[in-house]
Amino acid sequence: MLYLTIPNILTTLRIILIPVFVSSLMYERYDYALFIFGSAAITDLLDGAIARAKNQQTELGRFLDPIADKFLLITSFVLFTIYGFVPKWLSIIVISRDVIIITGWLVIFFITHSAKVEPSLPGKLSNASQLILVAYILFYINLQGAWIPHPRPLEIFTAVLTVISGLHYIYREVKRGGNVNA
């Protein structure tokens, strides 16, 4: 079957891991949470690499991959805020960026009846910094007895990249909107 590819299976596995990740955080099994998050991050790296190398890119994969990433990251930031691992302002920035992008996509889609959000370099860097921050915080929680710097500088860096990325998407789509004949 065309959709039953290794990259799509890995993406689906990442989605399935989200409730397990949530459960491990809720039961304060931060060691499990770190392992599960690391596994999910590895599947994220592998699915894209395999899809490109084996020419197994599918529409389903193009749709599911960013959804899996967003579900994992938003879930992480919401729970980390609830448990006091990240400041509220950071989660607001991360989630607001995604809401703004999705809202913009919907507006463009309803006006033009076609809309495609292409990933951008700032967007990819923002997602990467968010993934790294979540992993770092999980290491920080698990290694509380060891000397490991507080994640505050990484939180600020992630916030700045997230804002830049959101502004870049807005700028790019507004600029592109001038070329759309609707």
Q: Which long-range contacts (CB under 8 A, 24 or more apart) does 83-87 make?
A: 83/25, 85/137, 85/141, 86/133, 86/137, 86/151, 86/155, 87/155
Give the residue among 163, 18, 22 at the shortest CA–CA distance from 96.
163
Identify whether the C-beta of residue 78 lies closer than 8 Å to the C-beta of residue 85: no
Q: Provide the pLDDT for residue 115.
A: 67
Residue 1 domain flag: no
pTM, full prediction: 0.88
Residue 182 domain flag: no
Give per-residue pLDDT as tens, 127-179.
999 999 999 999 999 998 778 899 999 999 999 999 999 999 888 887 876 44
2: which DSSP letter?
T
Q: Percentage of residues in the chain with pLDDT exceeding 70? A: 94
Residue 148 domain flag: yes
| CATH number of the CATH domain containing 36 | 1.20.120.1760
Residues in Cβ contact with 68 at an 8 Å cutoff, skipping those fewer than 6 apart: 11, 14, 15, 18, 44
State the residue range of the domain holding 99: 6-177
Q: In the predicted model, is pLDDT for residue 181 greater than 50?
A: no
CA atoms of 35 and 48, how far apart (whole Å): 21
Q: In the predicted model, is pLDDT for residue 23 greater than 50?
A: yes
Confidence of residue 86 (pLDDT cuts 50, 70, 90): very high
